Amino acid sequence: MTRTEEILKWYGHLSPGVRGNIHKLLETGKLAGTGKLVILPVDQGFEHGPARSFAPNPSAYDPLYHVELAIEAGLNAYAAPLGFIQMAADEYPGQIPLILKVNNNNSLYKSKNPSSALTSDIQDALELGCAAIGFTIYPGTSFTNEMFLQLRDFIREAHNYGLAAVVWSYPRGENLGSKDETALDVVAYAAHIAAQMGADLIKVKPPTSHIALDAAKPYYENVPKDTLAERIAHVVQSAFDGKRITIFSGGPAKETADILDEIKEIHKGGGFGSIIGRNTFQRKRDEAIELLTNIMEIYSQ
């Protein structure tokens, strides 16, 4: 049994169409067949504004720059909001699996309780030939229940039409400080919530050793958490004992050596891969491809 076949057995409740699209994600690019994924997400322009996202590398203002980077680097998939996916699908139909980010936030209005707007739908994903939809939830905000209902309906509809569902699970809210958002117990909780909601792939942030919730602290006394690899292993364990594909964000801009050290720890901890955006597209193309190649070499070992 191949690694892809082993993973697909965890998704036996899904239709052949959905499993076929998960198979497509796992069998595309340089990591095909390894059970690992590296995905390029480019929703930062919507989330943070164009200059904050693309000014470090002006070529990135062009939507086609990103899909071309993903294809040339040999990634598993490319994820973005509607406008960028429309451009990618028009110029490069079928050349790389596409993930339509169907809800997005923006930074023009700041709130401790963010809520993403629905910016596209399942019909858009179908017309554009996408393999999956992407949906962000913010567990812990005052809008949590509303987002859960939206996610439930989007996953159900996506699965009805044979699309996979990728869930960005990012804890936020007035009861969580910035340090708490990446706390080990909170990130693990976020991964588990996404799995319980029916996510096929889960995206969370790499966790710190901080434990945020007082009620959880006694239970973490004997959970290994000194190294990032140990913390990654706990987050993966929290997603149905590793039976849901859990990948980790690239986070804020950092030096190449720091990125690769983090990737090594994610791999060592059993993470399924990375969904890494600004740390690649804010670099010049040759530098970005070299970095992505090095990342995929680590995951292929």
Amino acid at 145: N
Amino acid at 262: E
pLDDT class of 133 with cuts at 50, 70, 90 = very high
pLDDT for position 265: 98
Query: Do 11 and 154 form a contact (C-beta atoms < 8 A)?
Result: no
pLDDT class of 253 with cuts at 50, 70, 90 = confident
* Joined tokens for residue 108: 């023009």
Query: Do 130 and 164 form a contact (C-beta atoms < 8 A)?
Result: no
Task: Using the predicted structure, report yes or no on whether residue 128 has a pLDDT greater than 90.
Answer: yes
Query: Do 167 and 212 form a contact (C-beta atoms < 8 A)?
Result: no
CA atoms of 210 and 110, how far apart (whole Å): 25
Across 104-112, average pLDDT: 91
Domain 3-300 in CATH 3.30.230.70? The answer is no
pLDDT class of 126 with cuts at 50, 70, 90 = very high
pLDDT class of 110 with cuts at 50, 70, 90 = confident
Beta 117-118 vs 132-137: how paired, if at all?
A: unpaired
* Joined tokens for residue 130: 């996408």
Amino acid at 207: P
CA atoms of 42 and 54, how far apart (whole Å): 10
* Joined tokens for residue 174: 């007035």
Residue 60 CB-half CA count within 13 A? 27
Residues present in the chain in total:
301
% of the chain with per-residue pLDDT over 90: 98
pLDDT for position 285: 97
CA atoms of 69 and 40, how far apart (whole Å): 9
Query: Do 250 and 276 form a contact (C-beta atoms < 8 A)?
Result: yes
pLDDT in tens, 54-73: 999 999 999 999 999 999 99
pTM of the model: 0.98
CA atoms of 170 and 154, how far apart (whole Å): 18
β-strand partners of 261: none
Would you list the domain boundaries of the chain?
A: 3-300
Across 83-106, average pLDDT: 97
Across 211-231, average pLDDT: 98
pLDDT for position 129: 98
Task: Using the predicted structure, report yes or no on whether residue 251 has a pLDDT greater than 90.
Answer: no
β-strand partners of 78: 40, 98
* Joined tokens for residue 233: 């292993």
* Joined tokens for residue 77: 């998939």
The catalytic residues are 170, 203
Work out the angle at residue 273's Cα, subtended by the Cα atoms of residues 20 and 168, and round it to the nearest 5 degrees: 75
Task: Using the predicted structure, report yes or no on whether residue 177 has a pLDDT greater than 90.
Answer: yes
pLDDT for position 159: 98
pLDDT in tens, 191-200: 999 999 999 9
CA atoms of 192 and 4, how far apart (whole Å): 22
pLDDT for position 222: 95
Amino acid at 258: D
- How far from 262 is each of 133, 209, 271, CA to CA, in Å? 27, 14, 11
Across 48-58, average pLDDT: 96
Across 202-212, average pLDDT: 98
% of the chain with per-residue pLDDT over 70: 100
* Joined tokens for residue 107: 């930074």
* Joined tokens for residue 232: 């990654």
Per the prediction, the chain carries an average pLDDT of: 97
